[in-house]
Amino acid sequence: MKPNESSLTSLITAFGRAYHSKYDTPKIFDDFIAQDLISHKEFSDIREHMIQGIPFFNKDLARKLQDDPDEILKWITQVLLSPTTLARAAYCENVLLNEVRSGLDQYVILGAGLDTFCFRHPELKNSLDIFEIDHPATQASKKKRLSHANLPIPSHLHFVSMDFTKGFSYPDLIEEGFDYKKTFFSLLGVSYYLTKEENASLIAHLFDKVPSGSSIVFDYADESLFEEKGMFNRVEHMVNMAAVSGEPMKSCFAYHEIEHILEQSGLLLNDHLSPAAINDLFFKHRTDYLSAFETIHYIHAVKK
């Protein structure tokens, strides 16, 4: 990202969630607020760019569906764009809400983008402080979008502007009311864009001062990321699209490397979902194009 540019990835991700909420059934993850944060022109422009891009992704399908743009958009969204976005959000929020039922009252979202958890769960306004961390330009854009959508920022939602790829700052969080108590962190759609060293350093810093029982959910790409093509070459397309957007993917991990990072930060692996497990949990018995993305895994780890 350039210093004053909002994240294109966050906008495209929100488009995928909005499309799923509006058109897909059954729902894997219903982000019914996402469409309110995207203007009609943006939604239309993204839609048209995707439809026009179908020959790049699948020339045979482009010819077959040339007179059916809605089906083209459905294919691109469900095959390429939405699977990881939807399933990782559903998984993370399932874990988070279970933690909240157990008394958690502090949630930190790293790389929050256009996350809408706060607005979809107003019942938590008096019991859960939410801290959204992201690039200053992305947060400035989000605040404008919330204003245009007539969504006032509630008192328990705290924006913390930070480029955590260059160093994580607890003082910035503390200024917004963060306390060194049991905390749940989410790090979704971020690990790919950091180097291995940056990922290890970030997780270590996150858990340096919070108490036992604090935990994190994150997704990561396994060691086949840069070799695996995937169904309809979608893994290869994902890597290439990230590079073209100016936010290239930088890292992938063998399972033992993830274990080592967690151990070095004093974390215990509580849950690990492989692509096959993700597919069974969120995509089984679907009759549309949606299926779990190859190479992508989910982790829930807890501080000892």
Q: Residues 182-191: pLDDT tens digits?
A: 999 999 999 9
Q: Is-cis flag, bond preceding 26, omega within 30?
A: yes
Q: CB 38: neighbour CB atoms within 10 A?
A: 21
Residue type, 241: M
Q: Residues 236-290: pLDDT tens digits?
A: 999 998 898 788 999 999 999 999 999 999 999 999 999 999 999 999 999 999 9
Please tell me the predicted confidence (pLDDT) of residue 8: 79
Distance CA 264, CA 191 (A): 17
Please tell me the predicted confidence (pLDDT) of residue 247: 81
Please tell me the predicted confidence (pLDDT) of residue 245: 77
DSSP the chain: --TTPPPHHHHHHHHHHHHHHHH-SS-SS--TTGGGGS-HHHHHHHHHHHHHTHHHH-HHHHHHTTT-HHHHHHHHIIIIIHHHHHHHHHHHHHHHHHHHHTT--EEEEET-TT--HHHH-GGGTTT-EEEEEE-HHHHHHHHHHHHHTT----TTEEEEE--GGG---HHHHHHTT--SS--EEEE-S-GGGS-HHHHHHHHHHHTSSSPTT-EEEEEEEBTTTTT---GGGHHHHHHHHHHHTT------B-HHHHHHHHHHTTEEEEEEE-HHHHIIIIITT--SS--PPTTEEEEEEEE-
Contacts of 200 (CB under 8 A, 6+ apart): 261, 264, 265
Please tell me the predicted confidence (pLDDT) of residue 246: 81
**Please, is 262 exposed, middle or buried when counting C-beta atoms within 10 Å of its C-beta (0-12, 13-18, 19+)?**
buried
Please tell me the predicted confidence (pLDDT) of residue 276: 98
pLDDT band at 1 (very low <50, low <70, confident <90, very high): very low
Please tell me the predicted confidence (pLDDT) of residue 241: 85
Please give the average per-residue pLDDT across 102-131, as a whole number.
97
Is 3 a residue whose pLDDT tops 80?
no
Q: Residues 12-31: pLDDT tens digits?
A: 999 999 999 999 999 999 99
Distance CA 71, CA 5 (A): 32
pLDDT band at 6 (very low <50, low <70, confident <90, very high): low
Please tell me the predicted confidence (pLDDT) of residue 244: 86
pLDDT band at 2 (very low <50, low <70, confident <90, very high): very low
pTM of the full structure: 0.95
Q: CB 143: neighbour CB atoms within 10 A?
A: 12
Q: Residues 157-173: pLDDT tens digits?
A: 999 999 888 888 899 99
Share of the chain above pLDDT 70, in %: 98
- Which domains, ranges and CATH numbers included, belong to the chain? 8-303 (3.40.50.150)
The answer to whether 14 and 112 are in contact (CB under 8 A) is: no
Is 4 a residue whose pLDDT tops 50?
no
